[in-house]
């Protein structure tokens, strides 16, 4: 219970500070729309090839928006040494970490709330409940993993360089399963259930692993 | 171990690899379908197994370090990560050499090829974390975390040929698909490659031990495989 309260307080603090400054969300929203613009030029999109390309564009935009969101979640704390202050309290490190991950994940969800309708608007792909569920399920695991590495690289040199190198390879299971689910949700062949359950499995696996690892990346 | 023992171990490993080369080129029969190109298989698969073994050592070393703060465990993990990366590189390069005449292309985005490439990137990242973190506790802890998470890809590489539709050949050794002479050559090559990997890890462990004893900023040169002077 105490852990839940700590995690909630940390997440609330991050979201409140974002609400007051309103820096990240508008920038990320513009970023994902820009990603769609780049995709348009890169792939020469027309009404015929759009459904085939849209899932890939969705994941590319999501991966890079995630990298920015998770990276920023810890750099501000590092610069002002606020995380050290939090770690000096009796709060359990796992709860602090889960709070940070929850805050970053919710920022990414806001960003997805822009990305998914924009994809429907610009690419003409259907926006269904299955699509939203697949993206949200992937967001859970990607946020947990991304925040482990973000917490780590915030303490290292060349952190902008290292975060994608560490995160993207381990996000691949989510992109494989999520990519399959999104393709099916956008009208491709295959079964949706299998891909969604695979996402749930990966979420559970990496939530357990990250909660075990949190202590070692935060408490230094 | 004294310098002499390291040299003997290295010479022994090289001699074994030469024997394996002899078995591959002189003893093993030529494949009826693929021709001489099939001989790549022996070292390609053996290197992959050696890489998996190294990454398992990285996993165990990382867990032991996080659990007991055991410095030797961290050094073993460090040594094994580098050696594992070398053997993953050998696996990838030899696989591409084989793929060109058989598949017609060096690379295809097949599940096993892709997951092996990802494996390479993960452990290259492991070594980068070691380089960029503050040497000592931070580098060891962070690397251990990367090594533990990164190992998740090893079973994916192994299972990829069964789980997804792939054009990579399936397991031939465990399925009794090899004629006896080929099987014997393969098992011997695998043994030699594992010995080579173990010797490389031991020597690398020695270098890491010497490196840790040096003041920050100094680097061990090749000559320092000897016992350091006081």
pLDDT tens, position by position, A35-62: 999 988 888 888 888 888 888 999 999 9
Contact A162 B132 (CB under 8 A): yes
Of the candidates A22, A20, A35, A23, the one whose C-alpha atom is nearest the C-alpha of residue A65 is A35
Work out the mean pLDDT of chain B and round it to a whole number.
Answer: 88
Would you state the structure tokens that stand for residue A131, as one six-digit string? 């699509």
- DSSP conformation letters of B57-69: HHHHHHHHHHHH-
Would you state the structure tokens that stand for residue A103, as one six-digit string? 């805050």
Collect all residues with Cβ–Cβ distance below 8 Å to B151 and sequence separation of at least 6: B55, B56, B58, B59
Closest CB to B152 among A148, A149, A170: A170
Q: Is A209 on the interface with B (CB under 8 A)?
A: yes
Domains belonging to chain B, first-starting first, are: 3-213 (1.20.120)
CA dist B176 to B29, B30, B173, B193, Å? 16, 18, 6, 21
Residue of B nearest to A151 (CA): B142
pLDDT at A1 over 80: no
Q: Is A121 on the interface with B (CB under 8 A)?
A: no
Contact B149 A145 (CB under 8 A): yes
CA dist B161 and A212 (Å) reads 31
CA dist A38 to A44, A68, B149, Å? 10, 18, 33
Of the candidates B44, B25, B33, B36, the one whose C-alpha atom is nearest the C-alpha of residue B168 is B44
Residue of A nearest to B151 (CA): A170
Helix (H, G, I), strand (E, B) or coil at A190: coil
Contact B132 A166 (CB under 8 A): no
CA dist B148 and A209 (Å) reads 9
Asked if B99 and B108 count as a contact pair (C-beta separation under 8 A), the reply is yes
CA dist B60 and B52 (Å) reads 12
Q: Which helix (H) or strand (E) holds B4?
A: helix B3-22
Interface of B with A in 145-184 (CB under 8 A): 145-146, 148-150, 152-153, 156
Helices B71-103 and B180-213 pack at an angle, to 10 degrees, of 140
Of the candidates B33, B3, B17, the one whose C-alpha atom is nearest the C-alpha of residue B198 is B17
Q: Is A172 on the interface with B (CB under 8 A)?
A: yes
Q: Is A218 on the interface with B (CB under 8 A)?
A: no
A2-34 pLDDT, tens per residue?
889 999 999 999 999 889 988 888 999 999 999
pLDDT-derived band at B230, boundaries 50, 70, 90:
very low
Contact A145 B152 (CB under 8 A): no
Q: What is the pLDDT of residue B58?
A: 97
B174-212 pLDDT, tens per residue?
777 788 899 999 999 999 999 999 999 999 999 999 888
For B42, how many CA atoms within 13 A lie in the half-sphere containing its CB?
Answer: 29
pLDDT at B42 over 50: yes
Mutation pick from B85, B132, B140, B156 vs chain A, by most beta carbons of A within 10 Å, is: B132
Collect all residues with Cβ–Cβ distance below 8 Å to A143 and sequence separation of at least 6: A66, A70, A101, A102, A104, A105, A108
Q: Is B143 on the interface with A (CB under 8 A)?
A: no
């Amino acid at each position: 219970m105490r852990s839940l309260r700590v995690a909630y307080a940390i997440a609330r603090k991050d979201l409140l500070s974002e609400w007051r400054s309103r820096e990240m969300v508008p920038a990320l929203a513009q970023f994902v729309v820009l990603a769609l613009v780049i995709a348009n030029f890169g792939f020469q999109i027309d009404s015929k090839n759009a459904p085939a390309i849209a899932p890939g564009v969705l994941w590319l935009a999501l991966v890079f928006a995630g990298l920015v969101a998770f990276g920023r979640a810890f750099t501000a704390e590092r610069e002002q040494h606020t995380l050290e202050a939090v770690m000096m309290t009796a709060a359990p490190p796992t709860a602090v970490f889960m709070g940070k991950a929850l805050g970053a994940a919710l920022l990414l969800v806001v960003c997805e709330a822009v990305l998914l309708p924009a994809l429907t608007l610009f690419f003409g792909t259907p926006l269904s409940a299955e699509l939203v569920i697949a993206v949200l399920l992937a967001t859970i695991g990607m946020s947990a993993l991304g925040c482990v590495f973000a917490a780590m690289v915030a303490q290292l040199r060349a952190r902008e360089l290292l975060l994608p190198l560490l995160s993207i390879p381990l996000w691949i299971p989510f992109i494989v399963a999520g990519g399959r689910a999104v393709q099916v949700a956008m009208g491709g062949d295959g079964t949706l259930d299998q891909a969604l359950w695979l996402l749930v499995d990966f979420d559970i696996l990496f939530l357990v692993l990250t909660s075990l690892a949190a202590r070692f990346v935060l408490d230094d | 171990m004294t310098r002499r023992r390291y040299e003997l171990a290295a010479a022994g490993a090289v001699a074994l690899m030469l024997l394996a080369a002899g078995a591959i080129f002189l003893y093993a029969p030529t494949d009826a379908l693929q021709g001489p190109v099939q001989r790549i298989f022996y070292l390609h698969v053996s290197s992959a197994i050696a890489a998996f073994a190294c990454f398992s050592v990285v996993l165990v070393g990382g867990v032991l370090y996080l659990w007991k703060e055991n410095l030797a465990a961290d050094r073993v993990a460090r040594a094994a990560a580098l050696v594992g990366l070398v053997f993953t590189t050998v696996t990838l390069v030899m696989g591409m050499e084989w793929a060109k005449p058989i598949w017609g292309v060096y690379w295809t985005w097949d599940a096993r090829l892709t997951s092996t490439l990802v494996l390479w990137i993960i452990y290259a990242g492991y070594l980068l974390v070691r380089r960029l973190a503050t040497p000592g506790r931070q580098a060891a802890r962070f690397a251990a975390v990367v090594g533990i998470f990164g190992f998740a890809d090893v079973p994916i590489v192994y299972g990829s040929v069964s789980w997804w539709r792939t054009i990579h050949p399936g397991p031939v050794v465990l399925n009794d698909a090899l004629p006896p002479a080929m099987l014997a050559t393969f098992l011997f090559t695998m043994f030699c490659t594992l010995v080579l990997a173990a010797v490389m890890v031991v020597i690398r462990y020695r270098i890491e031990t010497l490196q840790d004893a040096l003041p920050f900023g100094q680097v061990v040169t090749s000559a320092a495989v000897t016992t350091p002077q006081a």
